[in-house]
Chains A and B, each alone.
Chain A
Amino acid sequence: GESVGLHLPTLSVQEGDNSIINCAYSNSASDYFIWYKQESGKGPQFIIDIRSNMDKRQGQRVTVLLNKTVKHLSLQIAATQPGDSAVYFCAETIGQGKLIFGQGTTLQVKP
């Protein structure tokens, strides 16, 4: 599968491979983190979230990892499908306040 340690604006993977999208967040006081998927012309769609008292959370085909020491978040997508092609954003927040979005990563899935 494709794995990157640093944030890249674009990630291209083969269908069926695993994808890893990285994000650095800014505020060490942030206690809640969300990954969103955004398709062209649409609003961001919730994928998975994690609170600061956890370091890993799994969903269906997706896993989020949180490393508070280096303020790093990653999204792992298993068996990437063409329908996963989109821009992915991480977001951080404190409590119920505003979201601060990271740089997006465009995921391209090659058939």
Chain B
Amino acid sequence: DTGVSQDPRHKITKRGQNVTFRCDPISEHNRLYWYRQTLGQGPEFLTYFQNEAQLEKSRLLSNRFSAERPKGSFSTLEIQRTEQGDSAMYLCASSGAGGASTDTQYFGPGTRLTVL
């Protein structure tokens, strides 16, 4: 499968714990995006990278959240000291293969986080 992959698919944690999610983009894509989606809502932008550079961060991304893309390939999203309000689906998307579809963002299956 050559699509965007995310790991884990589900994560249940206790309030106050740290969690880390991984995203592997489509291999030739140089842009990688993180979004958060709560029940009944559309995805909300968190941050994005072009290669290894983090180009934009949303105000939704509090100082408990950090994202990295150290080698310009996979990315990690870490949430420290999780709160119940962090419970959501965390989605990763990638784009940038060049050609007519270079701007199209393709999404992974998401990581469902539940904070107890």
Q: Is B20 an interface residue (CB 8 A)?
A: no
Q: Is A99 an interface residue (CB 8 A)?
A: yes
In the complex, identify which listed stretch (B11-19, B43-51, B63-71, B72-80) lies at the interface while the others stay far away: B43-51
List which A55-111 residues lie within 8 A (CB) of chain B: 89, 91, 93, 95-104
| A34-B104, A34-B105, A43-B110 known; A98-B56 Cβ under 8 A | yes
Q: Is B85 an interface residue (CB 8 A)?
A: no
B109 partner residues in chain A, CB cutoff 8 A = 42-43
| A43-B91, A44-B91 known; A99-B43 Cβ under 8 A | yes
B50 partner residues in chain A, CB cutoff 8 A = 96
Number of inter-chain CB pairs below 8 Å: 57
Q: How large is the interface on A (under 10, 10 to 19, 20 to 34, 35 or more residues)?
A: 20 to 34
**Distance in angstroms between the alpha carbons of A102 and B44 in the assembled complex:** 10
A101 partner residues in chain B, CB cutoff 8 A = 42-44
Cross-chain contact B42 with A96 (CB below 8 angstroms)? no
Chain B residue with Cβ nearest A90 = B42
Q: Is B31 an interface residue (CB 8 A)?
A: yes
**Distance in angstroms between the alpha carbons of A96 and B41 in the assembled complex:** 23
Q: Is B103 an interface residue (CB 8 A)?
A: yes
Partner of A99, one of B41, B105, B112: B105
**Distance in angstroms between the alpha carbons of A44 and B93 in the assembled complex:** 9
B4 partner residues in chain A, CB cutoff 8 A = 43
What would 16 A/B residue contacts be, using CB atoms closer than 8 Å? A34-B104, A42-B110, A43-B110, A44-B91, A44-B107, A45-B107, A46-B104, A46-B107, A93-B103, A96-B103, A98-B45, A98-B58, A99-B93, A100-B45, A101-B44, A104-B41
Residues of B whose CB lies within 8 Å of any CB of A are 4, 31, 33, 35, 40-45, 48, 50, 56, 58, 91, 93, 95-96, 102-110, 112
Starting from the known contacts A36-B107, A43-B107, 17 additional A-B residue pairs (CB-CB under 8 Å) come to A34-B105, A42-B110, A43-B91, A43-B109, A44-B91, A46-B104, A49-B103, A93-B103, A96-B103, A97-B56, A99-B35, A99-B45, A99-B93, A101-B42, A101-B43, A104-B40, A104-B41
